[in-house]
Amino acid sequence: MKIVVLKFGGTSVGSIKKIKNVSKIIISYLRKKFKVIVVSSAMSGQTNRLVKLTKEISHNILPAEYDSVVSTGEQISCSLIASTLNEAGYLSRSWLGWQVPIFTEGKHSHSRIVNINKKNIVNYLKKGGVPIITGFQGINSQNRITTIGRGGSDASAIMIAKSFKAERCVIYTDVDGVYTTDPNISPKAKKIKKISYEEMLEMASLGTKVMQPHSIQDARLHRIDIEVRSSFNNNPGSIITKKKNISKNNIIRGVSFTKNDSKVTLVGVKDRPGVAASIFEPLFKNSINVDMVVQNISSNKKETDLTFTIKNEDLNKTKKLIKKNNKIKFKNLIIDDKVAKVSIVGVGMITTPGVTFRMFNALAKQKINILVISTSEIKISVLINRKNLKKAVDVLHKEFKLDN
């Protein structure tokens, strides 16, 4: 069978009018003789509404009950899509995760798909049916509904595409592809026709909001090509694929950024083996993600200044954890909550000298001071004052000829 998996995000199914538009997209693939498996998110805003309901009951609601509540949004959208197709004369029905079934393991709200029973769906496809499967959810070994985390419908679609050996996996959203940077920040942003898993993974983790990083990682591990396109127009999308399929003409593929970061500096920390672990252990135990880390040893080698970044929403908790941590001693705690992280990403920088100089020189010409630097093989990130964010994105976009 020639199978295609189509995933529709919340904005694509946000109203009955949009759901009718989604059904037209599905029918267009059926007319091309594809067997279509649809994965849908909840209607836009629905999951947030359900989360709010759980908090009105308790801020410590049992994880299993939380998942049972927030997973119901997809049930509504899938049933509405199936009903729209039935109304148009096509055989279709909705499938909840446990009805497929889709098996998961791991903690509630953060589970992972480990197996998909294909038999029922395959039989339905052979009858000419269009299965509309709820994304974001599955069932664990205790027969409880679990969810895969925010953005989990993308992960559902990718794992379904792998399991059914689909010819393609198309992610429909409210943007028509992956751009060199956020068009809302830089009007000169250009759509990227093809981008590697590795580049997309870095861009997603650095602020690009097209897909969640763990979904891209799943696609990379299972070598599933993804097309990202808009459900609101017929423009070609962007293909996320293997590095060998990418043109080497562009050294840098995109400029990503985040603007909800805080810089934390511990001054005069007594330097000894294990001090960094002592600082970060309570943050880890409280699920606080630490990003850029810089350590400066004093000339007498007895003290160190340690700087790291976290998300703004974790700042108050981080300050409390550091101040009550009796395993460490330091002279001062300095906080800067008005910073932004700007990153350039591209597999071409591995073999191209001078990329670091060009980035730093371009920022220096605009009198943009760099506070912290972090690098990997395919990205360079710098922390700057948030007021310089747009200027930094524009100058780097131009420096690496992404305007062209």
- Model pLDDT for residues 201-232, shown as the tens digit of each residue: 888 877 677 787 888 888 898 889 999 999 99
Counted residue by residue, the chain has a size of 404
d(CA 371, CA 349): 22
1-20: per-residue pLDDT in tens?
899 999 999 999 999 999 99
Q: Where are any strands of DSSP class E within 41-87?
A: none
What pLDDT is attached to residue 352?
86
d(CA 149, CA 147): 6
**Mean pLDDT, the chain, integer:** 92
d(CA 77, CA 129): 18
**CA separation (Å) from 345 to 91, 130, 298, 328, 362?**
45, 39, 33, 36, 16
d(CA 217, CA 213): 6
In the block, which residue shows the tokens 């941590």?
325
Tokens encoding 36: 């279509």
Helix ranges restricted to H, 165-212: 197-205
Over residues 126-136, the mean pLDDT reads 97
282-302: per-residue pLDDT in tens?
999 998 999 999 988 876 677
What pLDDT is attached to residue 249?
67
d(CA 394, CA 398): 6
What pLDDT is attached to residue 12?
96
363-403: per-residue pLDDT in tens?
999 999 999 999 988 899 999 999 999 999 999 999 999 98
Over residues 320-346, the mean pLDDT reads 93
Helix axes 72-87, 46-57, angle to 10 degrees: 150
Judged against a pLDDT cut of 70, whether residue 29 lies above it is answered with: yes
Question: Rounded to 10 degrees, what is the CA torsion of 91, 93, 97, 103?
Answer: -30
Instruction: Name the DSSP class of 250.
Output: -
Q: Roughly how many angstroms between the first and final C-alpha of the chain, as a whole number? A: 41
What pLDDT is attached to residue 344?
95
8 Å CB contact between 347 and 246: yes
Over residues 325-345, the mean pLDDT reads 93
Domains in the chain, please, with CATH?
A: 3-174 (3.40.1160.10), 255-399 (3.30.2130.10)
94-98, 129-133, 240-244, 358-362: lowest mean pLDDT where? 240-244
8 Å CB contact between 238 and 195: yes
Q: State the pTM of this model.
A: 0.83
